[in-house]
Amino acid sequence: MDEQTLTHADLARGAGVSVTSIKSYRAKFPGFIPVASWTKPIRFQPEALPVCARISALFAEGRSVAQVRAVLAREFPENAAERPAEEVRNPFAAGISERSFQEFFQAAGKMMQGMAALATAQARADQRLTRLERALEDLASVQAQGAEAMTRLAAEIGEWSAGTARPRKVVAVRGTEGRTETYAFEERVEPAPESAPAPSDLPPESLLGLPVAIRTDRGEFLGVPGRLSLAAFAAALERQAGSPADWTREDESFVLTLNLGGAVHALLFSAATSPSGVEVALLAGLGLDGREATPAFVQEFVRQVRERMDRA
């Protein structure tokens, strides 16, 4: 060992600590450990040894870095410019090897690749979830349409059964040869006599001859296909109901009341002019057992009436 200067190993032996501890002391208290030469290996002045020994003793007492610094400031001189600029720029000056840095960057690269793969997997999962949500929405729509079709079919079957069923009488007749034969007789059901409404309650011919139209929820006028007149529309409703309808007057409007599918329908008609200047018999309202129907329901009701007319 040079009698004038000391190496890291010399300081470690003299202070009774490891070389790594000496390097840690230098990193924490560089101004109190004077350097004699920046050659390799770095050599320190002899005054550095008592400083390192004192730091070791203070840490052994459980002092913090700030407390150790305060003691050193009282007992030893500090040179703030002791650490050269090139040592600050050297990433391996604090005892970190180049291999450790390489391993760190390799690990960081793998971590970045893993994060990119995770982001890609997340994006694909979001796409699958979006497709699944759309499929569920389509399924719900199909189920709703199926339920609506079944309800409509059940109503039509009920109307058909009510209009076409005939009571049957079975008679057994014994022949001369001892055989018994049965005969089924259909009793003719006479339709109930139609009671003509009071003339004062009937709409005038000027209204009965106008084409029927409805107003959509957007306020637009929508005519019945085929420019069906009010008279023809009312007659179709009576045929589908299987009973005559009842006309009543309300101010300048007329209400057609009849029973369809077990529910009392009250249709309010009044003369109106469409935005295009066409005179129509406007279906201004529809009551179902006393409850007002929405414009969307009125539109669907008129469409079903027209479809039954086409099938008749």
Six token digits for residue 17: 């600590």
User: Can you give the three-state secondary structure of 180-230, one letter per residue?
Assistant: EEEEEEECCCCCCCCCCCCCCCCCCHHHHCCEEEEECCCCCEEECCCCCEH
Is the pLDDT assigned to residue 159 strictly greater than 70?
no
> Count of domains in the chain?
2
Q: Look at residue 198 and tell me if it is in a domain.
A: no
> Tokens 């600590």 belong to which residue?
17
Rg (CA), the chain: 51
Handedness of CA 210, 214, 218, 219 (dihedral sign): positive
Res. 218: pLDDT tops 80: yes
How do strand 263-273 and strand 279-288 relate by DSSP bridges?
antiparallel
Tell whether the model's pLDDT for residue 8 goes beyond 80: yes
Tell me, yes or no, whether 106 lies in a domain: no
Residue 176: inside a domain, yes or no? no
Q: Is the peptide bond before 167 cis (omega within 30 degrees of 0)?
A: no
- Domain end position, chosen among 96, 128, 153: 96
pLDDT for 205 beyond 60: yes
Give the H or E element holding residue 29.
none
Per-residue burial over 262-283, b = 16 or more CB atoms within 10 Å of its CB, e = otherwise: eeebbbbbbbbebeeeeebbbb
- First-to-last alpha carbon distance for the chain, in angstroms, is 121
- Mean pLDDT lowest among 12-26, 69-83, 136-150: 136-150
pLDDT at 46 (0 to 100): 95
Flag whether pLDDT at 70 surpasses 60: yes
Q: What is the spatial distance between Cα 48 and Cα 66, in angstroms, rounded to a whole number? A: 19
Identity of the residue numbered 21: S
Give the DSSP letter of residue 5: -
Report CA-CA distances (Å) from 6 to 11, 44, 52, 81: 7, 5, 12, 20
Tell me the C-alpha distance between 94 and 96, whole Å. Answer: 6
Strand pairing report for 212-215 and 279-288:
parallel
Is residue 1 predicted with pLDDT exceeding 80? no
CATH code, 14: 1.10.1660
Domain limits at 40? 8-96
Least confident segment among 125-139, 150-164, 229-243: 150-164
The last residue of one of the domains, among 78, 96, 114, is: 96
DSSP state of 122: H
- Which range is most confident: 109-113, 156-160, 196-200, 293-297? 293-297
Assigned domain for 250 exists = yes
Least confident piece of the model among 82-96, 185-199, 280-294: 82-96
Task: Tell me what pLDDT residue 292 has.
Answer: 93
The answer to the question of residue 190 being in a domain is no
Is 15 inside any structural domain?
yes
Q: Which of 52, 79, 96 is the last residue of a domain?
A: 96
Whether 148 maps to a domain, the answer reads: no
Domain-embedded: residue 266? yes
